Amino acid sequence: MTRHFSIVTAALLAGAFPLQAQQAPAPQQETVTPEPVDDTADHNTSPDETSEGTGQTDAGQDAAPRPQPQVGADWPFWGGDAQATRYSPLDQITPENVSQLEEVFTFHTGDLPEGTAEGKYSPEVTPLKIGDDLLMCSAMNILISVNAETGEENWRFDPGVPNEAIPYGATCRGVSAYTDPSTTEGDACATRVIQATLDAKLVAVDMETGTPCEDFGENGTVDLWQDIGERVPGWYAVTAPPAIVRGIIVTGAQVKDGQAEDAPSGVVRGYDAVTGELAWAWDLAAPEQNRNGPPEGEVYTRGTPNMWTTAVADEELGYVYLPLGNSSVDYYGSNRSEVENEYATSLVALDATTGEEVWHFQTVRHDVWDYDLGSQATLLDYQGTAAVLLPSKQGDIYILDRETGEPLTPVGELTDLPKGEIEPDYISDTQPISEWHTLRKPALEEKDMWGFTPIDQLWCRIQYRRANYQGFFTPPSSDRPWIQYPGYNGGSDWGSVAVDTERGIIVANYNDVPNYNRLVPRDEVTSKAINRQTGEEKAGGGAEGAADPQEGSPYGISVNAGWRNTGTGVPCTRPPYGGIRAIDLETGETLWDRPLGTARRNGPFGIPSFLPFDIGTPNNGGSVVTASGLVFIAAATDNLFRAIDIETGETLWSTVLPAGGQANPITYEAGGRQYVMVTAMGHHFMETPVGDEVIAWALPED
């Protein structure tokens, strides 16, 4: 794309204009209400209750690989298949007939923000399809089953998550399912739907009825806040579907960014999928001591790196691969322990039967940029080796040996990196990079600055000159703002990548925006800092913003995500701000690369232009690829759901969604028809309109 734009073209860009949410009422169906839960109950398994010396429950000890459900007519995992490829073998919808797609049904969850939840909704949900049913969660964790052919509601279960539990967004990306091999068809909870909630509960209900599984925890619920410490609503929440491997449910949690070094632990825990008993805990700062839970009166190690995104399970090896985030706080590191430095922003392989580490691979050393690993890793065979593909927020893509963690593709080093003046002894002067493939773009230059008019373009040039910027991994600064590029939204984020394993093509959508940040000295961080949360206050819903306190460190943090002009809302860098790329899996070479997202809903001052030009907008959510050669994706802020030719990158079909499509789509078969589906529910951070729609399309019936 040319670097020179007319004013008319400029008017197409930047902030979003909110449309009215679609609020058609949900059909009246049976709602299952939860039994009261003993909030103080200790659901841990004591060391005496485990197998001697192994830290395992009986289920973990006896677990053996089990056949996994296959993707095709069903979409049984959040990532499609057990390998999280997001590849479907269905081929009824083809590049030749995709233009004939018609909407089959729209289901409304009925979960829309009310009261203090206004402005905090970001559902991001991807349903499962198993048998005749679609299984999903709403923004506030209402579990819902829907007939996959007709869109009629079967049942719903409301776990009663309160608004004050919302961290910075009401998000539930999906659920998981588990079939108990000791049961027979028709038994209660023979197959159970499992989710973890914003108020940190692990919930299991019967897939057929939505009734809580009485044998799981207390009346179908396990309290994940057990042994975490003081309950501060919103500080510890789960937004990702758990991984289940060899009968063990594995989950981490989102720990609210920007609050304090003494934040809840990043402990990752495994629970028996039938009983809900703690099988093991992996507290990276005390892995042996806390394997079966901390000693009485103690809690898991606070402030450690957490896993807020989705793990992937390797049933054959019995491993689970955890993309870890950063320590608390994100933008200052000198107070961190050596073990935090070792594991932060790493992919960690655990033996899911014991909770013991197998290996870890770190993508950022001494991370002070909030470069959490956000994407779910993908399992695949790479040149004859069982491998795991790992995208990062910096835009790098690594392929590692699944058993050892050794890189199978070249990994290089950035050297002589700037160290700054805040903590030069802590900042690493080297960082790993992928020499096989990266989505990362060249470093910014002043000529890349951009604006709605020459005046605000000049303003952005001035901001560029005011900032500390020395290219990739410019360290945080306080005397002046610093430019972080890419920003914390990526590269690749939670939408992850899709892999066409037949054609050998990776499909990766990405963001390409900087952040404009400043460390705020402690004496400038007020006692009522923005986004600060305590046990006595209602949860705040903002993302990292004007001034998060980062208590315990010398600095708060101010983040201008996307580095937008504060007057016009127009980004200070030239478009495109997001794209989608096809990559040869064998060689790592780019096959095609194009902007993702049109200008139809973007413009200065948040006024939509309605113009159809591809400018490449920020995007959140991933894609699905099909055997017929189609890529289905929403994600962008233009509220379009589109089908792309995987061979050429050409858009072959698109349709307007009634709300933001910040979610991963699925495809499945029901009644002999192939469906494609995406949820349109909006996203406060992406500034897309809120909705509650789950929409399915298929080809016309003969």
Cβ atoms of 565 and 451 closer than 8 Å: yes
The alpha carbon dihedral of 263, 267, 268, 273 has a sign of: negative
> What does the CA dihedral 437, 438, 444, 449 come to, rounded to 10 degrees?
110
Cβ atoms of 482 and 555 closer than 8 Å: no
Half-sphere exposure of 658 (CA within 13 A, CB side): 16
Alpha carbons 310 and 318: distance in angstroms, whole number: 17
Alpha carbons 607 and 619: distance in angstroms, whole number: 18
**Could you tell me which of 412, 404, 625, 416 has the C-alpha nearest to residue 506?**
625
Alpha carbons 10 and 575: distance in angstroms, whole number: 10
> What does the CA dihedral 641, 643, 648, 649 come to, rounded to 10 degrees?
10
Phi, psi for 152 (deg, rounded to 5): -80, 140
Catalytic residue among 370, 396, 456, 692: 370
Largest CA distance in the chain: 72
Which helix (H) or strand (E) element contains residue 7? Answer: helix 7-10
User: Which letter, b or e, does each residue of 82-103 get, where b requires 16 or more Cβ atoms within 10 Å of its Cβ?
Assistant: bbbbbbbebebbebeebeebee
**Could you tell me which of 582, 42, 3 has the C-alpha nearest to residue 299?**
42
Strand partners, 651: 644
Alpha carbons 647 and 639: distance in angstroms, whole number: 24
Cβ atoms of 341 and 366 closer than 8 Å: yes
**Could you tell me which of 249, 168, 235 has the C-alpha nearest to residue 200?**
235
Which helix (H) or strand (E) element contains residue 631? Answer: strand 630-633
CA 126-132-135 angle, 5° bins: 30
Residue 284 Cα distances to 11, 42, 52, 141, 290, angstroms: 49, 22, 22, 29, 9
Amino acid at the residue 588: G
CB count in 10 Å sphere of residue 459: 18
Distance of CA 67 to the CA centre of its chain: 27
Cβ atoms of 544 and 559 closer than 8 Å: yes
370 belongs to the catalytic site: yes
**Could you tell me which of 229, 204, 223 has the C-alpha nearest to residue 214?**
204
Alpha carbons 223 and 214: distance in angstroms, whole number: 15
3-state secondary structure of 163: helix
The alpha carbon dihedral of 325, 41, 144, 148 has a sign of: positive
Catalytic residues: 370
